[in-house]
Structure 1
Amino acid sequence: MFVRPDFDPVAFSVGPLAVHWYGLMYLLSFLIGWGLGALRTRLAHVHWKSEEVGDLLFYVVLGVVLGGRLGYVLLYQPGYFLANPLQIFAIWDGGMSFHGGMIGVFLASAWFARKTRRTFFQITDFVAPIVPVGLFFGRIANFINGELVGRVTDVPWAMVYPHIGPQPRHPSELYEATLEGLVLFAILWVYAARPRPRAAVSGLFLLGYGTFRFFCEFFRQPDAFAGFVAFGWMTLGQLYSAPMIIAGVIMLIWAYVRTDPNQQDTGSAE
């Protein structure tokens, strides 16, 4: 059993400006994502220019931040934020919804696709292998903030969160950082290194994230304001992830049925 370190949510201060770990993790994810996007432009079957990555990143950042925050407000605690509207802007305290951020990225991708005369899936197939980097750093930020804690357990690697109580818990944030971040990144990066039918990479992302998130929710403490929402065991995270799994399977089947698996999808503008 371990005791979670007592992290200061403020990483460092410059005069009156306090830089929170949460914001720093988001900054790191965007910078590393930019670099990985530039690397993907070097693949022979990815017909993107490196300078286009920065433009796309601008739209993705807007989608992640706005969609993630509004998604959390609307999908998780609408009553609380209706009573405390100014708290909507306090993103340094945490409270970002992946599912809301994903919708935000979809909208941003559609906007960028229209702007650059590409198709929607040309954008999402390019972005999907990079997204797990942001998921990894986001879960590390959750761990540092001591939020989204795991369920009580007696496994040898359990952690005590002193600010929560003396009971040892699953370090579920680290489970999610590993599966939704590192493992999903490895799967998508390798899969997308070769030409794939259009929408296949996006479909694999939905299937992979939905599956890993659904699994990790069995070790994560249900949100106190919601508890179990169905069947006596299903959490909100699982409820929102189940459609992703179904959509991912359908997209993969559709991608391979409608396209020759060996046909190269260049991702170039049309």
Structure 2
Amino acid sequence: MRYACRPVGLLSRSDPISRFDVADVQRFYPRGRPPQPATFDWSFTMNLLGVLPYWQLGPWELGPLTLHSFGLSVAIGVALALSILGSRGQKILGVSGDRMQNFGMWLLIFGWCFSHVFEVVAYQPHIILEDPLVLFKVWGSISSVGGLIGGVIAFLIWRVRNPYEDHIGWSNVAAFTLPIAFFFGRIGCALVHDHPGADATNFVVWEWIRSIFGDSLPEVWPLALQYPDGVPRHDLGFYEAIIFFFLTLFVLYKGRKPQRRGYYLWTLPLLYAPFRFLFDFLRVTPGEAGLHGDTRYLMLTPAQWVAIGMFILGLFLWSKLRNEPLETWKGLEKSTSDDEEPESSSE
């Protein structure tokens, strides 16, 4: 009988026992007592994990300018998303990159302005009475779900003004770039911690996991951040950055080949909405621990109500678009035909 000849705490191996292995057995185990099959002790590894530190980057002073990490991250995301929008629109729809980027800028500007209006109306309606002009101060606070609603409204306006375009194709390309832009936006949120969550000390999900795997796991949820008030808290911007990272990988993987027309219009809402709905249960209420919290309506945040609508919209679009044919990448077909023309003429 062969035994894994390494001390407990290391992974076993299946190669035959050598002289060195026998020496290991004699050194680590009493004479006449065969070693037990090796197991991996997770306690050392998991104890390396714990509450994350409260990181913070910026702002940076560049002469008369002040560069903030949130703004820098958002700018990178917008530039990258517009670049991908232009190249992908040209490849799939056969539309010039400039037209696609102009389309993206229209969605972005309208969505950004509406995100501020939604933030004020839904989350801070009391300040409208104090200063009605706050609705026009679009450089102020914004709401990501408000931006999504604004983007949809902007697309509907564009659709009326461009009745003969491929509406499913254009909107599908725009939806493809959303996770990329939002990933960098949420990275910016995580860098400035503008979405503090509730106390993570007795996080029910982590307590359930520890009840299964034992007390070798850290006592506190290892993705919590140690906030300056000394409390380990959920950081919702950080959590959503993780979700959008995986959604970005998803679209980049799926985008290598043609999908059904409108594929991203229904898959992304169905994938994102449940996470957003659940995450908002971890947000603080207004005034809790001196933090800026989220207003509730019938025990749900505005974003949770939007997430419900988003999920229903995803189901509706799935029912309408699931039998659509595969995309025809017109830009690739055009470039291929252009390459073949000289050959046919030479014959």
The 8 Å contact of residues 109 and 123 in structure 1, kept in 2 or not, is answered as no
With over 3 angstroms needed to count, the CA separation of the structure-2 counterparts of 1:210 and 1:265, relative to structure 1, is: farther
Tell me which residue corresponds to 1:200. 263
Tell me which residue corresponds to 2:167. 120
Tell me which residue corresponds to 2:152. 106
String of CA shifts for 1:109-132, please: whole Å, max 9, x gaps. Answer: 234443483143332101011111
Specify the SS of the correspondent of 2:98: helix
Aligned positions, number: 256
Q: Does 1:176 align with 2:240?
A: yes
String of CA shifts for 1:75-121, please: whole Å, max 9, x gaps. Answer: 2212223313455566666x211222112212322344434831433
Match of 1:19 among 67, 81, 89: 67
Match of 1:80 among 115, 121, 127: 127
Tell me which residue corresponds to 1:247. 313
Q: Does 1:229 align with 2:318?
A: no
Specify the SS of the correspondent of 1:217: helix
With over 3 angstroms needed to count, the CA separation of the structure-2 counterparts of 1:104 and 1:77, relative to structure 1, is: same
| Distance in structure 2 (CA, Å) of the matches to 1:106 and 1:7 | 33
CA drift at 1:6: 4.2
String of CA shifts for 1:139-183, please: whole Å, max 9, x gaps. Answer: 222222221112211213321221xx211112321110110x211
| Distance in structure 1 (CA, Å) of the matches to 2:114 and 2:182 | 15
4+ aligned runs moved over 6 Å, structure 1: none
String of CA shifts for 1:220-263, please: whole Å, max 9, x gaps. Answer: 33455655533x5x433222201111110121121124x3xx44
The 8 Å contact of residues 69 and 100 in structure 1, kept in 2 or not, is answered as yes
With over 3 angstroms needed to count, the CA separation of the structure-2 counterparts of 1:119 and 1:77, relative to structure 1, is: farther
Aligned-pair Cα RMSD in Å: 2.8
Higher RCO structure (Cα 8 Å, ≥6 apart): 1
- Matching residue's letter, 2:94: H
Identify unmatched segments of 5+ residues in structure 2: 1-50, 201-219, 288-292, 332-347
TM-score by length of 2: 0.65
The range that moved more, 75-84 or 188-197, is 188-197
Match of 1:159 among 225, 231, 250: 225
The 8 Å contact of residues 193 and 235 in structure 2, kept in 1 or not, is answered as no
Q: Does 1:256 align with 2:303?
A: no
Specify the SS of the correspondent of 2:313: helix
- Matching residue's letter, 1:83: E
| Distance in structure 1 (CA, Å) of the matches to 2:138 and 2:69 | 12
With over 3 angstroms needed to count, the CA separation of the structure-2 counterparts of 1:263 and 1:136, relative to structure 1, is: closer
CA drift at 1:59: 0.6
Structure with larger Rg:
2
| Distance in structure 2 (CA, Å) of the matches to 1:220 and 1:155 | 16
TM-score by length of 1: 0.81
- Matching residue's letter, 1:217: D
CA drift at 1:41: 3.7
